[in-house]
Amino acid sequence: MTALLISILLFGIGAAGSLIVANRIRWLTFVGAGGVILGSLTGIAPAVRAALGAPPQSLRIAWDVPYGSLYFRLDALSAFFLLPIFLICALAALYGTQYLEAYRGRKALAPSWFFLNVLAASMVVVVLAHNAILFLMAWETMALSSFFLVTFEDDKESTRQAGWTYLVASHIGTACLLVLFVLLGRANGSMDFDRFSASAATGLLFVLALIGFGTKAGFIPLHVWLPEAHPAAPSHVSAVMSAVMIKTGIYGLLRILTFLGPPQAWWGWTLCAIGLSSGVLGVVLALAQHDLKRLLAYSSVENIGIIALGLGVGIVALSAGAPFIAIVAFAGALLHVLNHALFKGLLFLGAGNVAHETHTREIDRLGGLLRRMPGTGATFLIGAAAISGLPPLNGFVSEFLIYLASFRGAISLDASGSVPMLATLSGLALIGGLATACFTKAFGIVFLGHPRTEHAETAHEAGPVMLVPGFVLASGCAFIGLFGSTVVQSMAPLISTVTGLPRISVGENLVQASKSVAIVGYFAALLIGLAALLSLARTIALSRRRVATAETWGCGYANPSPRMQYTASSFTQPLTEIFGTFLQTRQIFTGSDQLFLQRAEFRTHTDDPYQRYLFRPLFHGISRGMNSLRPLQQAKVQYYVLYIAITLLALLLWQVS
């Protein structure tokens, strides 16, 4: 615990220090990044120990705030979420030292380092807080610091817009959380988490938690801020936000579930439904994107959907009294939290490298980058394969666990339990397939083929500081993929904390489940060996022959140009047409169908359907409704007195009658 407090203190020093040395750029980078990195390194050891089953520690300091106390508690659940926070924050800070160099002289960098430290500290406090007031304060600090990080390039209109969308969404969520904690606190007479217990209206509390935490996590339809905020933020910030910050929403939901007592089946059904819609729509929307970081943001929605599916299956199984299924499903969902942190961090940093070198995030303006940026390309490929859930990488292990649980559930549970399991099975398969298509497109169009523009043509590999984080994360992906069974077995304390089942039986069940994972691990190793063997054979076979390079797809064209390559839109067109109803892609074609060719233009654009058909009309309506109240604002004392009088009188009449 002391180490974690020191880690928070180091973040604080980093934050304060970066303001003090704001004008000395060398010192600033040193202090700002140093605070995050040192703080993370200090905290990671106790977090690992606690996640592996060290007894929970707590620390309580009195606090002047009403109902508040500085009550920190480190249990397996907190510790498990601390791991990605520390890891990704440290790597992102390291990455940021070079990434932000490009803005040197144009932008004040001190705020960015300040808020990165604050964000890291607040995320640590969020998962450690054991008092609702402390939690909410840290939660709000997290939202605000990330808002300022997102609006780093605040001279751009689109960035400011994205920032506002994020801020509004974030506060809608916080409003629900406030109600949730006040209800819990009132029922239990204390704002400390360990006093919270199941009260009467658990269903209402669950829904409030779902909306409040779901907004942060990015459940559809509350996801609208993600595709705006992630592309707008600097890449290392996107990595932190997408890889770990949105996971605090999952953490909060799990933490609340531990208060609510035995879960009801419909919670699981709801989570499964949310998971399905988030997963499928998230990946379909990702398919249709042209902006690399926007694509990654939608893919985060998809992965949050997979996590929700796992949680939903777990809850359905818990309420049906099937511990094995529940344990495996929760293990899958939680492992996916960690996995997503690894590969999404990796992909965002990779996308950052691309954007940094080519100055564009438009997929259709890139191409052929694998030759020019081999390190970035290789790590991005590993991330793309992992996020698609392909063996032998980590994404497969966690999705496999969810598959395993829902297979078991579909077979052994009764009708009401097996329906969500079957839906999860088919949904997960669909999501996996579409994700593969999506990342084939992302990797293929960006890194393969020929450069489509001069920017891509003249790109160079990013510096070593920007490559190392990617390598670390890629090896993390491979590690979990290859040693999946060990990792799964070590999750026993965590799963026992979440489900409330005794640790020994959880451990036994996980050992049983990990056998299947081990088989996958062996096959994965075999696959890698095979690939290596083939590659070796190829090298040997080619070593004595002349090797020439030729156009891949000549297609009989006499003079092909890079612009004749597949574009991102054309590659995914078959799929996006199937899902056209959801996507509502707008196609703009200017040109003519005359015999002789003339200048023509073809564009497609896919808005977020929820943004376009739900939230925009909703907020316009609210805005219009508020405008109709304008006449009330008369700036006359008499009127205001009258309003007060009428209100009081109405209240009195209402009370009396």
Partner 1 sequence: MNQLINSILVLLVLTGFMLLSSSRLAACIRAIAIQGVLLGILAIVIQVGQLSVAGVLLPLSSAIVKGFVLPWLLFRAMREADTVREVEPVISYNLSIIAGTAALGVSLWLGHRLTLSNQPPSSLLVPAAFFTSLVGMIVIASRQKALTQVLGYLALENGVYAFGAAVALRLPILVELGILLDVFVGVFVMGIAIFHISREFDHIDTDKLRARTARL
Q: Which residues bind partner 1 (CB under 8 A)?
A: 633, 635-639, 641-642, 645, 649, 652-653, 656-657
What is the DSSP secondary-structure string of 251-287? HHHHHHHHHS-SPPHHHHHHHHHHHHHHHHHHHHHHH
Q: Choose between 45 and 644: whose C-beta lies nearer to partner 1.
A: 644
CA distance 555 to 559: 10
- Nearest Cα residue to 523 out of 481, 467, 464, 581: 481
Q: Choose between 62 and 653: whose C-beta lies nearer to partner 1.
A: 653
Q: Choose between 23 and 655: whose C-beta lies nearer to partner 1.
A: 655
Which one-letter DSSP state was computed for residue 461? P
CA distance 302 to 306: 6
Write out the two tokens for 417. Answer: 């339990």
Secondary structure (3-state) at 509:
helix
Give the shortest CB-635-to-partner 1 separation in angstroms.
5
Contact at 8 Å (CB) between 343 and 386? yes
Q: Choose between 619 and 639: whose C-beta lies nearer to partner 1.
A: 639
Q: Choose between 588 and 635: whose C-beta lies nearer to partner 1.
A: 635
Q: Choose between 415 and 635: whose C-beta lies nearer to partner 1.
A: 635
Contact at 8 Å (CB) between 381 and 375? no
CA distance 324 to 178: 35
Give the shortest CB-632-to-partner 1 separation in angstroms.
12
CA distance 377 to 519: 30
Write out the two tokens for 497. Answer: 């904390």
User: Which residue blocks in 449-502 are alpha helix, DSSP H?
Assistant: 454-457, 464-482, 484-489, 492-499
Give the shortest CB-650-to-partner 1 separation in angstroms.
11
CA distance 168 to 160: 12
Give the shortest CB-628-to-partner 1 separation in angstroms.
17
What is the DSSP secondary-structure string of 536-597? HHHHHHHHTS------S--TT-SS--GGGSPPHHHHHHHHHHHTHHHH--EEEEE----SS-
Give the shortest CB-621-to-partner 1 separation in angstroms.
24
Radius of gyration of the chain (CA): 26
Q: Choose between 559 and 633: whose C-beta lies nearer to partner 1.
A: 633
Q: Choose between 108 and 642: whose C-beta lies nearer to partner 1.
A: 642
Q: Choose between 460 and 630: whose C-beta lies nearer to partner 1.
A: 630
Contact at 8 Å (CB) between 81 and 74? no
Contact at 8 Å (CB) between 44 and 80? no
Q: Choose between 200 and 637: whose C-beta lies nearer to partner 1.
A: 637
Give the shortest CB-638-to-partner 1 separation in angstroms.
5
Give the shortest CB-629-to-partner 1 separation in angstroms.
13
What is the DSSP secondary-structure string of 357-416? HHS--BGGG---HHHH-HHHHHHHHHHHHHHTT-TTSHHHHHHHHHHHHHHHHHHHS-HH
Q: Choose between 561 and 655: whose C-beta lies nearer to partner 1.
A: 655
Q: Choose between 527 and 642: whose C-beta lies nearer to partner 1.
A: 642
Give the shortest CB-651-to-partner 1 separation in angstroms.
12
Name the amino acid, one letter, at 447.
F
Give the shortest CB-20-to-partner 1 separation in angstroms.
38
Q: Choose between 534 and 642: whose C-beta lies nearer to partner 1.
A: 642
CA distance 233 to 355: 12
Query: Omega into 221 within 30° of 0, i.e. cis?
Result: yes
Which one-letter DSSP state was computed for residue 485? H
CA distance 362 to 242: 20
Give the shortest CB-649-to-partner 1 separation in angstroms.
7
Give the shortest CB-626-to-partner 1 separation in angstroms.
14
Give the shortest CB-167-to-partner 1 separation in angstroms.
23
Give the shortest CB-440-to-partner 1 separation in angstroms.
56
Write out the two tokens for 284. Answer: 């379909």
CA distance 8 to 313: 35
Give the shortest CB-641-to-partner 1 separation in angstroms.
5
Secondary structure (3-state) at 177:
helix
Write out the two tokens for 114. Answer: 């300040």
Contact at 8 Å (CB) between 320 and 417? yes
Taking residue 281's Cβ as centre, other Cβ atoms within 10 Å add up to: 24
Give the shortest CB-208-to-partner 1 separation in angstroms.
34
The overall longest dimension of the chain from CA atoms, in Å, is 100
Give the shortest CB-175-to-partner 1 separation in angstroms.
25
Q: Choose between 597 and 635: whose C-beta lies nearer to partner 1.
A: 635
Across-strand partners of 70?
61
Q: How far is CA 597 from the centre of its chain?
A: 46
What is the DSSP secondary-structure string of 301-359? HHHHHHHHHHHHHHHHHHHTT-HHHHHHHHHHHHHHHHHHHHHHHHHHHHHHHHHHHHS
Q: Choose between 534 and 644: whose C-beta lies nearer to partner 1.
A: 644
Q: Choose between 602 and 639: whose C-beta lies nearer to partner 1.
A: 639
